[in-house]
Structure 1
Amino acid sequence: MTQRSTVGGSHLPRRLVQLYVGLVAYGVSMGLMVRAGLGLEPWSVLNQGLARHTGASIGTVTIVSGALILLLWIPLRQRPGLGTVSNVVILGLVMDATIALVPEVRLLAIRIPLLVTAVVLNGAATGLYISARFGAGPRDGLMTGLHLRTGRPVRLVRTCIEVTVLAAGFALGGSLGVGTVVYALAIGPLAQFFLRCFAIKGLPEPSSVVVARSPEPSPESAILP
Structure 2
Amino acid sequence: MIKSNVGIAPWDALNVALSKRIGLTIGSWVFIIGTILILINSLIKRSIPNVAGVIPILIIGAFVDLLNLKILSFMEIDILFFRWSLFFGGLCILASGIAIYLRASFPTVPNDELMLALTERTGWGINITKTIGEAIAFLLAIVWKGPVGIGTFIVVLCLGLLVGFFDQFLHKVGMPRYFIVRRNVDE
TM-score range, shorter chain: 0.7 to 0.9
1:14-93 equivalences under 5 Å are 33-75=1-43, 76-77=46-47, 80=50, 82=52, 84-93=53-62
Kindly indicate whether residue 87 of structure 2 is the aligned counterpart of residue 101 of structure 1: no
Deviation at 1:146, TM superposition (A): 5.8
- The answer for the alignment partner of 1:166 in structure 2 is 138
- Residues 119, 183 of structure 1: 8 Å contact kept: yes
Q: What is the CA RMSD across the aligned residues, in angstroms? A: 3.5
Q: Deviations over 1:150-200 (max 9, x none)?
A: x65657876665434322211222121221233234334433444334889
Bigger Rg, structure 1 or 2: 1
CA shift in 2, pair 1:38/1:202, >3 Å: closer
Contact 1:143 1:161 in 2 (8 A): yes
* Identity among equivalent pairs (%): 22
Alignment of 1:187 onto 2:159:
yes
Amino acid at match of 1:139: N
Partner AA of 1:87 in structure 2:
P
1:71: how far off? 2.8
Q: Aligned in 2, Cα 1:119/1:160: closer, same or farther, shift over 3 Å?
A: closer
Superposition deviation, residue 118 in structure 1: 0.7
For residues 120 and 160 of structure 1, the distance between their equivalents in structure 2, rounded to whole angstroms, comes to 19
The offset of 1:36, in angstroms, is 0.7
Letter of the 1:115 counterpart: F
C-alpha distance in structure 2 between counterparts of 1:163 and 1:194, whole Å = 20
CA deviation after TM superposition for structure 1 residue 55, in Å: 2.0
Residues of 2 paired with 1:189 and 1:164: CA distance?
16
- How far did residue 220 of structure 1 move? 4.9
Maintained 8 Å contact 1:199/1:205: no
Can you give the 5+ residue segments of structure 2 that lack an aligned partner in the other structure? none
What is the CA–CA distance in structure 1 between the aligned matches of 2:111 and 2:143, rounded to whole Å? 20
Question: Secondary structure of 1:97's partner?
Answer: helix
Matched letter for residue 163 of structure 2: A
**Cα pair 1:77 1:145 within 8 Å, conserved:** no
Residue 147 of structure 2 aligns to a residue whose secondary structure is coil
